[in-house]
Amino acid sequence: MSEQKRLFLVDAYALIFRGYYAFIKNPRINSKGEDTSAIMGFMNSLLDVIKRERPDHLAVCFDKGGSTDRVEMFEAYKANRDETPEGIKTAIPYIMEILKAMHIPIMVKEGYEADDVIGTLSRQAEKEGYKTYMVTPDKDFAQLVTENIFMYRPVFGGGYETWGIPEVQKKFEVTDPMQVIDFLGMMGDSSDNIPGLPGVGEKTAKKFIAQFGSMEGLLANTDQLKGKMKEKVEANGELGLLSKKLATIMLDVPVTFNAKDFELDHPDVEKVKEIFQELEFRRLTDNFLKTFSSETETAQTAIEKTSEKTETKATPKEVKSAGSGQFSLFGGDNNSAEATTENTFTRKTTETTSHFYQSVAPGMATKLFIKNLMSQNSVCFDTETTGINPITAELVGIAFSWEIGKGFYLPIPENRDEAQELIEQLRPFFESESIEKIGQNLKYDIKVLAKYNVEVKGKLFDTMLAHYLINPDMRHNMDVLAETYLNYTPISITELIGKKGKNQLSMREVSLDKQTEYAVEDADITLQLKEHFQNELGEANTQKLFDEIEIPLLRVLAAMELEGINLDKAFLNGLSEQLDKDIKALESKIYAEAGEEFNIASPKQLGIILFEKLKLVDKPKKTKTGQYSTAEEVLSYLAKEHEIIQNILDFRGLSKLKSTYVDALPTQVEETTGRVHTDYMQTVAATGRLSSNNPNLQNIPIRTERGRQVRKAFIPRNEDYILLAADYSQIELRIIAALSKEETMIEAFKNGEDIHASTASKVFNVPLNEVTREQRSNAKTVNFGIIYGVSAFGLSNQTDLSRSESKELIDTYYATYPKLRAYMSEQVDFARDNGYVQTVLGRRRYLKDINSRNAVVRGAAERNAVNAPIQGSAADIIKIAMISIYNKLQEGNFKTKMLLQVHDELVFDVYKPELDNIKVLVKTEMENAFKMDVPLDVELDTGLNWLEAH
């Protein structure tokens, strides 16, 4: 080809970081527990560039030993950068090795950054008549752009953009790319710790460049500035010039561009395959082989095949003149774009995938559709509504799919009667026991349909729940699942209805075509995910957990959430007024003691008052963000230094109480029902627990006298009802005793002893009836500590004991309960061997850090290995109890309803005439939910509010 030769210089670290963070929410971990995200991300980008552009010359540039020159100039340079993540550190040697096997030159120069190496090489290549493409997302490189030197930037969402002189001029509002240096010098760069001029950000920097052309020009003409800005710029001229120097990429690194060395050679395919195999990169191997086995393909076909709407091609001219365009018309082999499924930046969408999504017209078409629907064995459906609150949301349409790539959308009329009429036609489907229903977050759909008096019956498959069991540490929203498992990007809801807030549309206002595309796509994807997950459930041995716990529980939770709980608003309003008075009183006391008024709720202002004005302590503790720490544990320690401290602590406690509970709860009462409806999250807690939000009813205060008053506001539905609270007593300790088969502890439980006193008696070697309060309290702390994975440090923080006393106590504890200790190390060993731990029902938690070389990271994973099976087993057990109690209440047609779950407690609204039966029922089901060598014990209490019942 007579074309100008093209050199690609790759900024290695920038692409590695980018690749690593692209996977951050869903890191790639292989069976050896290695995080391979960074390697995979980098290789994807590199192969992508090669495939798209077919460069004839290519090199990858790394930093080495940081920039000694820049550190000499400014010692803070890059000083506050976070330490390189472990996953990136371990990736570097692999990447080096792969590059060697690919015969791609690696450029590094001790004491220089990749920017400098790339800058120098690009200038040398330019002299020899090359066009150079700097492959990096880093904006700093814009200063290097010339007629023959371009930036080749990966963009989020896929594709690349090429920045030449016009793009840089536009982006930075400069006339010459070199002015980018002045621009960066003025505004600074927090990630590189380039200080910049104080008070100058992006906007001001652009203005100055336009006005003065350069940093020097600005400093020479400060008389044209005014006010604060003039003072600041004049006072910081030195800093400005230094910043400019720091931002300048060096062009005199002692490296040489030798064209021959940079030619893109054929890789050592076997060697690369070997390394990829070791890393367990299957799809990447395919991608690699395709990239290089088809080296005869022209740049054009390669680009055509991976082209996307967001992409801007690097050199359109060259592409046009490249030969054999005839292949592109029908795409040759179309696999490559779709088969490289691990490539984060090229994903399938509804526009690139063939599908048949149709809306169903009213009348006959609907009748025929429903007939067809009723003849299916298994159907995926998804409801579209006017909002996210299922209590108030109205149905807009329902999507159905039972065949991949195909589905139907049934719009629901806005008129409520007409809507109900249509729903009635669908009732036989939803209430069919024989048709399996598939969905993503079915709890929502079930709640919405319940508002139309439709019960969803038959077998259920919820993809969100399935994935929660497959990998509880990930997120489970459909977008993430589609991207991870199907390499597919669904239409985003914001694309449809806009960002929330000002101009957000309701689903009803979206065109029917768009509703159909969006809704049926969701149903289609969910169906595809189901195919994916149903096998994985079996492989992870969690099928039973899915069928017998999570799926049945979904209906239980839907019922509890719909039920809600009655709240005494008037009582809370009274409480609020009292709190308000007390808070105001504390406020004026604090202002008087501080000698000025300030925002007590601002930790920043408070820190300054306490540690700079009042100088309460010589060397104040700081938080990780460099503020003074005013955390409770810090302040409590200072309480005797100054009266203000106790007042601040009281102020904080009361403010929290007022804002989070006393004032917030009444606003969360649903108007239509007059009750508070929390939302239980079934797929959030990594251990298998539920969580609760909007509002969170699992953290209603109880420890302090003032706080627990809030519980008085939770009341029965009317005078015919009474609240019943049922608590598992010490369930986690019972589980660890049973799992470890620690006889001494098991016996204590069997004999109904006070377990903390019993522990104290054994550990401190005193008769049970002579145990002191302090001994019992310390024993209690250790008992809980065991569940969390103790350390002497943690224990001494929690008790009055010193570090060495704590260590001694822990040692004696282990000596008293040797099997407990053995059990704990068994869990850690199991995690090391298998990569996960599990609960009594086989619920797994994967612990990728269990073999980390970083002791802190590994320690945390080890504590998880001990705690997850215990916390998780307790969660399993109460879930079993909830399901069986719910079923018994249904079967017996009881008026009593289960309302709340708080990890080891259930709260019921009991119809008074049923109380005796319910007490027996609840206690029996809870205590017999799961059989172990240790009995489970449940305490019951009733009352006219939640405080009395507890």
Partner DNA sequence: ACATGAACTTA
Partner DNA sequence: GTAAGTTCATGTT
Concatenated DSSP letters of 847-896: -GGGG-SSHHHHHHHHHHHHHHHHHHHHHHHHHHHHHHHHHHHHHTT-S-
Does position 825 interact with DNA (CB under 7 A)? The reply is: no
653 binding DNA? (CB under 7 A): yes
For residue 399, list its beta bridge partners.
382, 409
* Residue closer to DNA (CB basis): 449 or 907: 907
What six digits make up the tokens of 885?
């109690």
Q: Does residue 576 belong to the site contacting DNA (CB under 7 A)?
A: no
Which of 599, 718, 751, 893 lies at the binding interface for DNA (CB under 7 A)? 599
Q: In Å, how far are 49, 101, 107, 291, 761 from 266, measured between CA atoms?
A: 16, 10, 19, 11, 74
Task: Looking at residues 624 to 643 of the shown chain, list those that interact with DNA (rule: CB under 7 A).
Answer: 624-625, 627, 629-632, 635
Q: DSSP alpha helices (H): ranges in 347-477?
A: 364-374, 416-430, 442-450, 463-470
Residues 903, 914, 943, 945: which binds DNA (CB under 7 A)?
Answer: 903
Q: Which of 656, 712, 888, 923 binds DNA (CB under 7 A)?
A: 656
Going from the C-alpha of 201 to that of each of 194, 220, 487, the distances in angstroms are 13, 20, 39
Cα dihedral 7/10/11/17 (nearest 10): 160
- The single residue among 213, 413, 603, 842 that binds DNA, judged by CB under 7 A, is 603
Closest approach of Cβ 587 to DNA, in Å? 12
In the stretch 795-824, what mask flags binding to DNA with x, by CB under 7 A? x-xx--------------------------
Cβ at position 145, least distance to DNA in Å = 23
Binding DNA by CB under 7 A: which of 219, 229, 239, 686?
686
413, 794, 842, 935: residue in contact with DNA (rule CB under 7 A): 794
How many Cβ atoms are within 10 Å of 341's Cβ, its own excluded?
17
Residue 707 interacts with DNA (CB under 7 A)?
Answer: yes
470 vs 34, 358, 385, 465, 692, CA distance in Å?
A: 19, 33, 29, 9, 22
Size of the site for DNA (CB under 7 A): 72
Q: How far is the CB of 623 from DNA (least distance, A)?
A: 3
Binding mask 854-893 for DNA (x = CB under 7 A): ------x--xx--xx--x----------------------
Decide if residue 187 touches DNA (CB under 7 A): no
Distance of closest approach, residue 614 Cβ to DNA, in angstroms: 16
The reply on whether position 687 binds DNA by CB under 7 A is yes
CA distance 223 to 442: 67
- From residue 40, give the alpha-carbon distance in Å to each of 27, 279, 343, 468: 10, 9, 9, 25
The DSSP element (H or E) to which 670 belongs, if any, is strand 669-670
Stretch that binds DNA, among 320-328, 574-582, 611-619, 657-665 (CB under 7 A): 657-665
Q: In the set 666, 701, 716, 869, which binds DNA (CB under 7 A)?
A: 701
| 106-145 positions binding DNA, by CB under 7 A | none
Cβ 775 to DNA, closest distance in Å? 16
Residues 6 or more apart whose Cβ sits within 8 Å of residue 448: 383, 385, 390, 393, 395
Q: Which stretch binds DNA (CB under 7 A): 250-258, 296-304, 830-838, 900-908?
A: 900-908
- Tell me if 24 contacts DNA by CB under 7 A: no
Backbone phi, then psi, for 602, in 5-degree steps? -95, 110
Q: Among all chains, which residue has been given the structure tokens 């009750």?
A: 675
Residue 31: phi and psi, rounded to 5, are -65, -20
Residues in the chain: 950
Q: How far is the CB of 794 from DNA (least distance, A)?
A: 3
Q: Which is nearer to DNA, 376 or 698 (CB)?
A: 698
Measured from the CB of residue 877, what is the shortest distance to DNA in angstroms?
12
Distance CA 912, CA 917 (A): 10
Question: Nearer to DNA by C-beta: 124 or 692?
Answer: 692
Binding to DNA, residues 659-678 (CB under 7 A): 659-660, 664
Query: Does residue 27 interact with DNA by CB under 7 A?
Result: no
Nearest residue (CB) to DNA, 43 versus 878: 878
Rule CB under 7 A: is residue 695 a binding residue for DNA? yes
DSSP string, 809-838: HHHHHHHHSHHHHHHHHHHHHHHHHHSEEE
From the list 229, 250, 450, 685, which residue makes contact with DNA (rule: CB under 7 A)?
685
Q: Which of residues 478-517 bind DNA (CB under 7 A)?
A: 499-502
Q: Are 125 and 5 in contact (CB under 8 A)?
A: no
Residue from 242, 465, 902, 906 binding DNA (CB under 7 A): 902
At residue 512, what are phi and psi to the nearest 5 degrees? -60, -40
Output 105 or 603, the one with its CB closest to DNA.
603
Q: Does 68 bind DNA (CB under 7 A)?
A: no
Gap between the Cα atoms of 904 and 898, Å rounded: 14
Which region among 244-252, 563-571, 653-661, 761-769 touches DNA (by CB under 7 A)?
A: 653-661
Q: Which is nearer to DNA, 349 or 627 (CB)?
A: 627
Count the neighbouring beta carbons within 10 Å of the beta carbon of residue 787.
17
